[in-house]
Structure 1
Amino acid sequence: MTAPQKPEPLGKRTPSIALKLGILCLVTVVCGAAITNFLFVGPSHGEEAASSSGGVPVSTVKAQLEDFPVYLDGLGTVQALYTVAIKTRVDGELQQVLFTEGQDVKKGDLLAVIDPRPYQAALDQAVAKIQQDEADLANGQYLLAKDQKLAKQGVSTDETVEMQQSQVNQLQAQLAQDQAAKEAAEISLSYTNIRSPIDGRTGIRMIDAGNQVHATDGTGIVTVTQTEPISVISTLREDDLDELRAALRKGTVEVAAMSGDLATKLADGTLLLIDNEIDQDTGTLRVKSTFPNTDRSLWPGQFVNLRILVATIPKAITVPSAALQRGTDGYFVYVVDSNDLASVRKVTPGPIRGGRAVINSGVGVNDQVVTQGQYRLEDGTTVSQTIIVPSSNATAEKD
């Protein structure tokens, strides 16, 4: 009978497991270091030298000479040149509404009719009263003339003449009063025909025919707004005041109403005035501009961006704004010479707009400035240019 085998002591298996774990850790560390070196350290020195032998790839464009417009931008609200709430000035029944909502109307067009019968009756009464006054006055004047004749003959006394003269004066005053009442009745009657006081466009009708209306009503019949021309009230910084005043002194200041994203021009107009005070709470000033708006591209209440042309810099040297870099000593650009060597140029920039920047000093006309790839450049770096041609948006490769 075979004796059972004794199990191997635990202490004899432990070194084998530890050895395997140690080898696994070593392989992991070596592989990780290799991967890290490949990803973050980059290619070997020989590979780097090979890649840089053709120059650092960059995009360049020539500095241009052009007339550069200078604008001020502000947020504005479109307002109708005139807005009139059409209300009744007399009480009565609204008999007729003679306009259509959204209709264009001219000054003097009949919009609505209030029942005129009570006011016509009042006018007729005033006319009749005047006729009575004229008859009484004529009789009083006849009696006055008669008394004056008798007084000269000694038949009548001076006191009688004076009393008759006073009666005539009272009749004349009554006639004048009734004539004024007749004029008031005529005016009230005219108010029963409600006419448009301006050229404009009607809005939503507030009340229908058949309703009773009163001069004290808070709600009118309709609102008429004049939209041709139209105005825009916009706000600018108080620091822009001097530029605005200088532009107005030179003559007409052109403005453009732009869409909210500044991508579309809605209308062209002119600057009308600068408000007479600055808002101390916000540090802004208000300006008013007018637009012909014949195509009605602007609508009352609409928010627009206002672009005001305050000056034009003649023959300015400009570069794409992407070429501008900012360092500890100020702004600079990279300029590439005929040998494809990049050099740093300190510049003094002027206004920047529409992706272009004015360069007051530091760059000359036709200097080739770098617009892309600057982060890999240093002074004296050899580059491989992709030359951008602004006029045609074409590119030309230069080896």
Structure 2
Amino acid sequence: MNTNNKLPRVPVSGVVSTPAAPMSRRQRGRAAPWILGLVVLAVAAGGWWWWKGRGADGANGGPGGPARAASGAGAPGAGGAAGRGGRFAANRVQPVSVMPARLQDIRHTAAAIGTITASNTAVVRAQVSGVLQQLHFTEGQQVKAGQPLAQIDARAFQAALGQAEGQLARDKATLDNARIDLARYKDLLAKDAIARQQVDTQQATVRQLEGTVKSDQAAVDSARLQVTYTRVLAPISGRVGLKQADIGNVVQTGDTNGIVSITQTRPIALTFAVPSALLPQITAGLKGSASLAVEAWSRDGKVRLATGKLATADNAIDLSTDTIKLKALFPNDDDALYPNQSVSVKLQLATEQNRLAVPAAAVLRGAQGFYVYVVAPDNTVSTRVVQTGAVDGDWMAVDGKLEAGDRVVIDGVDRLREGAKVEVIASDPKQRAGANAAPRRQRGASAPAGAEPSASAASGARRHRAASASSSSD
């Protein structure tokens, strides 16, 4: 073969590149067999590539794989969503979550929003002015009535007390002397040795001195009381707040904030309002032997904070809102409730014993009224019309052709119809099959280091090597 007449390389796609310069008829005759062979080889390589790619797609559930075959097997024949085996296919088994109906006590409750209030509140103020020397409490501490809270400098008040006691002693001595003189004058009057006027004058002097002694005694008591006021005591039992004065400050009797405030939180009160239509039931409950239970919940209604009892009702209905204000008491031993806290309230008015109940999520409403889907033992569903009753938490009392233990659908009802076939799955997504499986990698994502290549990646590598071999052979 003439080496000067090299043919151009033929790419994998089978398209022949145009020669750089025109060839003679003799050269074209010699090159024709080679060109034809390269075209045949390129077409064979392309067909092999396409066949391998189709086989890999079929193995991975692609267009020709078992997934499409399964989808086509369930199709009714014509086009549309059902023919494509889609989510809402007529013969598709629908996954649902169920809960059994059960017998339980159903509470009749009234819901409201209430505010926690302290049973008593006291602002501890200084009763004498002076320098604050000591604080005997910790902020947020529970204290008892009469417990020392603070100490004010008492030296000035003790000095005033000593002065009052000295004045009292002096006036008592003067009174004693006047009484002795009065006794002597009375003896002389009996002997007619002095005039009666002198005896009367002495008696008046004694009474005057007795009044002076009483006044001095009162001054002593007042000075002693001022000394006791320098020792600040808790007026009520409760929880102390943040201190309003520091050691070394001069506290005054007229300070607005005082030294500290105390709120009585054991027990603690809850005030709330309910419609006046419930007043007959509330009045009967207050007069009965058993108190009405009251529950305090967090504002979102997810956490129950405390349980107490209804204490009393207001003496008049609020005409602007047509409600009656109520007050409940809670022991609050764990300090879960704070004054001025806003909570959700559930007032228990009555209790129905041993009622048939289903989850509230299972009850639907349609043209025939309220109904539920019941799953039969053969995993088919049927509708049961029910009459609804009171709701207690997540459960609702119902009446109808339903028995305790019947499985009612609580999730997946939007895709159901009468007689549909269902598959029961766990209501909690974390407990469902495959919930903990590793997520599938997206197409084109790189494999982790050290991982084995997938079948599609190996097939692609083989196609690349075949194309390279085909290109180099020419």
User: What are the residue-to-residue correspondences of 1:1-399 with 2, within 5 Å?
Assistant: 63-248=101-286, 249-326=288-365, 331=370, 342=382, 345=385, 347-359=386-398, 363=402, 365=404, 381-384=418-421
The Cα shift of 1:313 comes to 0.8
What do the CA deviations read for 1:112-134 (whole angstroms, capped 9, x no partner)? 22221221122112211221222
What secondary structure, in the 3-state scheme, does the structure 2 residue paired with 1:305 have? strand
Alignment CA distance shift 1:305-1:341 (3 Å): closer
Between 101-110 and 306-315, the greater mean CA deviation after superposition: 101-110
Secondary structure of the corresponding residue to residue 296 of structure 1 = coil
SS at structure 1 position matched to 2:185: helix
Distance 1:96 1:387 in 2: 70
What is the CA deviation profile of residues 60-112 of structure 1, one whole-angstrom value per residue up to 9, with x for unaligned ones?
Answer: 66542221223222222233333321210112222333434334444333222
Partner SS for 2:294: strand
How many angstroms apart in 2 are the aligned matches of 1:190 and 1:341? 82
Q: In the superposition, relative to structure 1, how do residues 286 and 202 fare at CA in structure 2: closer, same or farther (>3 Å)?
A: same
1:282–1:87 CA distance, 2 compared to 1 (3 A): same
| 1:320–1:211 CA distance, 2 compared to 1 (3 A) | closer
- Quote how far apart the aligned CAs of 1:190 are: 0.5
Q: Output the amino acid matched with 1:275.
A: D
Q: Which runs of 5+ in 1 are unaligned?
A: 1-36
TM-score w.r.t. the length of structure 1 is 0.72
Deviations 1:261-315 (A, max 9, x none): 1111222333333233333333333333333333322233322222233322101
Task: Give CA deviations for 1:38-65 in whole Å, capped at 9, x if unaligned.
Answer: 66xx769xx9xxx768999987665422
Distance 1:256 1:144, change over 3 A: same
- Percent of residue pairs bearing the same amino acid type: 35
* Residues 201 and 356 (structure 1), Cα distance of their counterparts in 2 relative to 1, 3 Å cut: closer
C-alpha change, 1:223 and 1:58, in structure 2 (3 Å) is: closer
Looking at structure 1, the residues matched to 90 and 384 of structure 2 have their Cα atoms a distance apart, in angstroms, of 20
Q: Closer, same or farther in 2 for the Cα pair 1:74/1:116, shift >3 Å?
A: same
Q: 2: CA distance between counterparts of 1:124 and 1:69?
A: 70
Is residue 56–residue 382 contact of structure 1 (8 Å, CA) maintained in 2?
no
CA separation in 2, counterparts of 1:55 and 1:95?
A: 81
The 8 Å contact of residues 60 and 385 in structure 1, kept in 2 or not, is answered as: no
Output the amino acid matched with 1:270: K
Q: Which has the higher strand share?
A: 1
SS at match of 1:118: helix
Larger mean Cα displacement after TM superposition, 130-139 or 356-365: 356-365
Q: Deviations over 1:115-170 (max 9, x none)?
A: 21221122112211221222122122222222322332223343333332222222
Q: 1:176 to 1:330 in 2, by over 3 A?
A: farther
For structure 2, the 5+ residue unaligned runs are 1-77, 433-474
Q: How many angstroms does 1:323 deviate by? A: 4.1
Question: CA distance change for structure 1 residues 298 and 188 in 2, over 3 Å: closer, same or farther?
Answer: same
Separation of aligned partners in 2, 1:362 and 1:285: 40
Q: Do the aligned residues in 1 keep the contact of 2:106 with 2:391 (CA within 8 Å)? A: no
Give the 3-state SS of the residue equivalent to 1:290 in structure 2. Answer: strand
RMSD between superposed Cα atoms in Å:
3.7
Deviates more, 1:198-207 or 1:328-337: 328-337
Looking at structure 1, the residues matched to 166 and 249 of structure 2 have their Cα atoms a distance apart, in angstroms, of: 32
Q: What are the superposed Cα offsets for residues 172-220 of structure 1, whole Å, 9 maximum, x if unpaired?
A: 2222222122111111111011122234333222222222222122121
**Which one-letter code corresponds to 1:210 in the other structure?**
G
Aligned AA (2:145): K
Once residues 203 and 400 of structure 2 are traced to their aligned partners in structure 1, the CA distance between those partners, rounded to angstroms, is 97
Distance 1:269 1:140, change over 3 A: same
Conserved? CA contact 1:55–1:382, under 8 Å: no
Contact 2:381 2:422 in 1 (8 A): no
**Distance in 2 between residues matched to 1:247 and 1:387, nearest whole Å:** 45
The whole-number CA distance in structure 1 between the counterparts of 2:152 and 2:292 is 47
Aligned length: 348
Distance of 2:95 and 2:138 partners within structure 1: 67
Q: Which amino acid aligns with 2:185?
A: D
